[in-house]
Amino acid sequence: EAAVTQSPRNKVTVTGGNVTLSCRQTNSHNYMYWYRQDTGHGLRLIHYSYGAGNLQIGDVPDGYKATRTTQEDFFLLLELASPSQTSLYFCASSWGGRGSDYTFGSGTRLLVI
C-alpha cells in the first residue's frame, strides 16, 4: 500500500544539537513537503521539493535545511536545534497540481530541551 513513512516517531535533543528527520514515500509522487504544527499556528510549510536534488523554500524555513536524495526520500535537518523548534513535524507527498492525492506521514514529535 502506498504510504508516507516518517522516522523517528519521537525525538528529544538538547539545544544546539543536530537532528535529522526522515521521510520516505512509496506513492511515486513528484512533490514532497515538510510542515510543522504548533498550537495557535496550524500547519506551516517549511520546505518542499519536486524531485531528487531539488529544494524549494516554504513559509517558515529559518533554521532548517532539507535534502531530497531520491524520488522517495526527503530529509529535514536541524543543525543547531533550538527550543523554538519543538514541534510536531509532518511530511507529505503529492503529484502536484491535482491535490486530491495529498498524503501525510504520521508525524514526528520533536522536543528540544
Partner 1 sequence: GQQVQQSPASLVLQEGENAELQCNFSTSLNSMQWFYQRPEGSLVSLFYNPSGTKQSGRLTSTTVIKERRSSLHISSSQITDSGTYLCAMAPMNTGGADRLTFGKGTQLIIQP
Contact residues: partner 1, CB under 8 A: 30-31, 33, 35, 40-45, 48, 50, 56, 58-59, 88, 90, 94, 96-104, 106-107, 109
* Other Cβ atoms closer than 10 A to 17: 15
CB of 88 to partner 1, least distance (A): 6
Beta pairing class for 4-7 and 87-94: unpaired
In the complex, least distance from residue 29 CB atom to partner 1, rounded to whole angstroms = 10
Closest contact distance (angstroms) between CB of 19 and partner 1 is 19
- Cα–Cα dist 29/64, whole Å: 23
Q: Report the run of H or E that residue 92 belongs to, with start and end.
A: strand 87-94
Nearer to partner 1, 75 or 104 (CB): 104
